[in-house]
Amino acid sequence: MDPNVRPESMERITTPALAEKFIAEQVAAIKAQVGDKKVLLALSGGVDSSVVAALLIKAIGKNLVCVHVNHGLLRKGEPEQVIKVFRDEMDANLVYVDAVDRFLDKLAGVKDPETKRKIIGAEFIRVFEEEARKIKDIAFLAQGTIYPDILESKDGVKAHHNVGGLPEDLKFALVEPVKLLFKDEVRVVGKALGLPDNMVYRQPFPGPGLGVRCVGAITRERLEVVREADAILREEFAKNGLQGKVWQYFTIVPDFKSVGVNAEGKRTEGYLVVLRAINTRDAMTATVAEIPFALLSHITDRITHEVAGVNRVAFDLTPKPTGTIEWE
């Protein structure tokens, strides 16, 4: 039997009871696989890696070493939440790496979107490798691979290795407890493991994070604008019942300023915050979500008053195609 093929007899995990059964089976399987050896995990705080972390903590406790790399491109509150949930509440062995300056210094002045992605990806591997070398006796690498990742690698859509690119001497045996699950099942399991809703039902977030939404060369100032505006958008969507209803929503800040006027009648030059809210099934095509005009006006009012350096807000009305979901 191919371990990377989901057996036809495997029941879809849709209920807490089925999730508990899966958790018990996986805890036993992990214990049998790793024994008293140490396991390393790159914990981003996304659904998949968080569920894998929680499963492994249940199975082997402090023998799981989670490494959370803050590359400076995470959303507001994310690194803090990873620390709170995993270190404070689950008593995990968590290494927090503040690599903000390292990433932002490397990205300074780089405009090309693909080059930005490559720099972020390569630097991530380098930071993770350095941390892996500091920890003694690691025998396994845990990964949040899920079933669509396996299917897509088979179809040749994308090569999948979450922490691909590690040197040969750091190629550990893999622990991939959710590799036969679909995303909706991972969420049911995450809920049963006691992870908070905003982690379990998180919208998709690109690996290069806010870096793809801070269009052009990333500056710390503009990155803060993207992050603060995004936090307001998410807060307002949550307050108004749109969280979990709209598939993905975020803010983008292009690299130019335009002229505006402030309440005192003085000319300003400020950034434009673009709001994007889309619905899709598979992210290959997308439609624009219909957001009540009053809410859009309220969000505009908050962003222009609360986020320093912004004098305009726009809503992106473009479906995919012709626009992609992200701006890059």
Q: Applying CB under 6 A, does 326 fall inside the site for ligand XMP?
A: yes
285 binds ligand XMP (CB under 6 A): no
Query: By CB under 6 A, is residue 207 in contact with ligand XMP?
Result: yes
The CB-of-159 to ligand XMP minimum distance in angstroms stands at 13
Q: Is the peptide bond before 324 cis (omega within 30 degrees of 0)?
A: no
**Looking at 262, 297, 318, 324, which residue binds ligand XMP (CB under 6 A)?**
324
SS (H, E, C) 175-214: ECCCCCCCHHHHHHHHHHCCCCHHHHCCCCCCCCHHHHCE
Residue 268 makes contact with ligand XMP by CB under 6 A: no
DSSP symbol at 87 = I
| Cβ proximity to ligand XMP, 148 vs 309, nearer residue | 148
Instruction: By CB under 6 A, tell whether 283 contacts ligand XMP.
Output: yes
Task: Count residues binding ligand XMP (CB under 6 A).
Answer: 10
Q: Do the Cβ atoms of 180 and 186 come closer than 8 Å?
A: no
Nearer to ligand XMP, 27 or 125 (CB): 125
Contacts 24+ apart (CB under 8 A), 77-86: 77/231, 78/45, 79/45, 81/45, 81/196, 81/198, 81/199, 82/43, 82/45, 85/50, 85/195, 85/196, 85/199, 86/43, 86/50, 86/53, 86/57
Position 202: which residue type?
R
Q: Which of 153, 248, 268, 279 binds ligand XMP (CB under 6 A)?
A: 248
Binding window for ligand XMP (CB under 6 A); candidates: 47-55, 72-80, 159-167, 317-325: 317-325
Nearer to ligand XMP, 73 or 94 (CB): 73
In whole angstroms, what is the distance from residue 153 CA to residue 290 CA? 34
Q: Give the side-chain half-sphere CA count within 13 A for 278.
A: 23
Q: Which stretch binds ligand XMP (CB under 6 A): 132-140, 188-196, 303-311, 318-326?
A: 318-326
Instruction: From 57-65, 206-214, 238-246, 298-306, give the range in contact with ligand XMP by CB under 6 A.
Output: 206-214
Contact residues: ligand XMP, CB under 6 A: 204, 206-208, 248, 283, 320, 324-326
